[in-house]
Amino acid sequence: MMHFKIPLLSFIFITFIKCVSPQNDFFDEELMLKPLPSNHVYAYFQFTTVWETTKDVTTFQHSHLFPRGLGEIISRHNVDELHLTLTKGLWHYQKWGYPYHDAGPGAEITTWFHKDVKNVDDEWKGLTNALAGLFCASLNFVNPANSVSPEYTFRPTGVVDRPGGVVDSVNSSHLRYSSLPREIVCTENLTPFKKLLPCDSKKGLATLLNSAYIHNTNYHSIGIHFRVICSNAICTKTSLELRQSVSLIYDTVTDVSQDWSIRKFFGMGIRKACPLATLSNIYIDISSNNTNQIYELVPSPSAKIVSLRGGQLNEIAVYDIRSHSSKGIFNIQVLYNTTHTAGLNYPSILYANRYIIGYGQERGSLVTKIYNNYWQTLDIILLESIPWYLPVYLHSVTITCGTKNIIPLAQRYLPGKERKSPYYLEFILRLPPQSVTKFSIEMDYSFLKWQEYPPDANHGFYMGPAIITALLPIARNYTALPLDGSTITSSFNASREGYLVQLRTESLLISLPTPDFSMPYNVICLACTAVALAFGPLHNISTKRLVLKRVEMDWKEKLLSFLMKKIVKPKKKEE
């Protein structure tokens, strides 16, 4: 009887505590589906956890909706803000507009450490290693040799406590940015990502994240974005915000019909909303449903929202999963009335290309072409972080627009050190209206030590993307959430003064001079090792004589050996 009572009592006790002090956190799950003019469909999942609390040591000892595994890492390394993306494929800004979160190919991580952190490099190393374990990604390869602290490109997006209310004292020494373009993103990264969600992948929108389907897309990117935000208008209280995002680009050209549906994209319909979520919605951007492309949604949406933002008018169909899934599994279908037609593409106002010119394995030039399609000048920040094995020459920097030279408004340069730090270049440029600006810098391809070549050495070396940051004056093709918003809903009708984009250019593959790692080479290495191993003893034998030497002992050792003899000898006799 007692055995039964104790758990019951404790259960009642716990629920009582819970009711008295309700967890002041909430969880939202949202999915935005946006047909793009290039016959692709952009699917963006966002899982938002907001927890109204202060970030201190004890906070993460107990958590409710916030993933504890991540929380502990954040508190242990005193992280203020963390952005981690794992991406496969390249986002084509020209065709697809701007994504919710910009992410370069491979793994990319940006972290702001708390201002009290003394040794940022140590914490950075610890953090990336811990995250490598958490996400099964090769983030442990992040080291000072591929990390930079850019001065202009990144600003904290959350609340930062500043000493004495000094506004402009953002110290970039507490910022670290690194990208690993070689990283391949796969199921092993998605599974731990899903485990951070309160409903795991058992309920809600996360059930749609089937690796077989989402890795068959033209682009996929998973992201973790942690920051501290204000909970009220005057910012007296703070909350912790964690946004987990999945961006996918589906190609509808590959199939016979242009129709698409949730089931076709994700392999299954939606069963139920996550019971822990306060908001679980699916949005479909139906602004392209006009004279050119006509389609209908089945079933019809619960509501339609018209969003006017920075000169861009969007019509959005909203499905509330709770109300739709009451009758069981439900599926949203988009049925086209016409055959394959491409939508009208209003080109994005700012995009960039990056490539290498020159041939051979000795030297080349890195060129970044930046397109400004706007009728006015645009100010941008260009960040280039170039690996140490590609030494660049600052004097060879040329920035031209047609035949005109462009003088940067500001410039930061930190030369790289071999095996220690990358070359860091940051420019603030004013792009002339309707122009193509070309940034180029010459570089050498250095010859590495033979252990420094990765497997498949002749594949080449990757160089991470450049980042182009700009505050766009209009929101054409712009989707990202406003700085003060947490959920996708907050991006509707969110006109602001400027719209922040951080374009990532292509990552590049460069063939450095590579030794011939073929069989003869291996044979030479092996033979040399064998010769070296054999040489030592042979040399010893042939140059040294073996001489018997009397062991000289001091009195302690003599005594000890005497005693030993005494003990050992009688035993032998007994035997």
For residue 522, count CB atoms less than 10 angstroms from its CB and return exposed for 0-12, middle for 13-18, buried for 19 or more. Answer: exposed
Told to check if 335 binds another protein by CB under 8 A, we report: no
Could you say which of 11, 355, 393, 450 contacts another protein (CB under 8 A)?
A: 355
Q: Is 35 helix (H, G, I), strand (E, B) or coil?
A: strand
Told to check if 442 binds another protein by CB under 8 A, we report: no
Please give the Cα distance from 345 to 36 (Å, whole number): 8
Told to check if 458 binds another protein by CB under 8 A, we report: yes
**Closest separation between CB of residue 240 and another protein, Å?**
32
**Closest separation between CB of residue 16 and another protein, Å?**
54
Could you say which of 143, 287, 333, 365 contacts another protein (CB under 8 A)?
A: 365
Told to check if 451 binds another protein by CB under 8 A, we report: no
Sheet holding 295-298, edge to edge: 260-261, 333-336, 295-298
**Closest separation between CB of residue 71 and another protein, Å?**
32
**Options 23-31, 71-79, 228-236, 500-508: segment touching another protein (CB under 8 A):** 500-508
Told to check if 288 binds another protein by CB under 8 A, we report: no
**Options 204-212, 257-265, 457-465, 525-533: segment touching another protein (CB under 8 A):** 457-465
Q: Which residues contact residue 539 at a Cβ distance below 8 angstroms, ignoring those fewer than 6 apart?
A: none
Told to check if 511 binds another protein by CB under 8 A, we report: yes
Binding residue count for another protein, defined by CB under 8 A: 44
Told to check if 345 binds another protein by CB under 8 A, we report: no
Told to check if 297 binds another protein by CB under 8 A, we report: no
- Tokens in use for 300? 């019809």
Contacts to another protein from residues 13-52, by CB under 8 A: 38-39
Distances (CA, A) of 528 to 344, 517, 532, 571: 65, 15, 6, 51
Could you say which of 9, 357, 527, 560 contacts another protein (CB under 8 A)?
A: 357
Query: Taking the alpha carbons of 236, 174, 131, 273 in that order, is the dihedral positive or negative?
Result: positive
**Closest separation between CB of residue 353 and another protein, Å?**
7
Give the CA diameter of the chain. Answer: 110
Residue among 162 and 363 whose Cβ is closer to another protein: 363
- Tokens in use for 475? 């929101």
For residue 464, count CB atoms less than 10 angstroms from its CB and return exposed for 0-12, middle for 13-18, buried for 19 or more. Answer: buried
Residue among 419 and 459 whose Cβ is closer to another protein: 459
Could you say which of 76, 92, 114, 322 contacts another protein (CB under 8 A)?
A: 92
Told to check if 289 binds another protein by CB under 8 A, we report: no
Are the C-beta atoms of residues 445 and 453 closer than 8 Å to each other?
no
Please give the Cα distance from 521 to 196 (Å, whole number): 47
Please give the Cα distance from 343 to 95 (Å, whole number): 11
Told to check if 360 binds another protein by CB under 8 A, we report: yes
Residue among 371 and 423 whose Cβ is closer to another protein: 371
**Closest separation between CB of residue 393 and another protein, Å?**
17
Contacts to another protein from residues 93-112, by CB under 8 A: 95, 105-106
How many separate helices (H) and strands (E) can be counted in the chain? 10, 26
- Tokens in use for 346? 């209003």
Strand 279-285 versus strand 25-35 pairing type: parallel
Name the residues that contact another protein, by CB under 8 A.
Answer: 38-39, 87-90, 92, 95, 105-106, 181, 216-219, 251, 253-254, 342, 353, 355-361, 365, 367, 456-460, 462, 506-511, 514, 516, 518
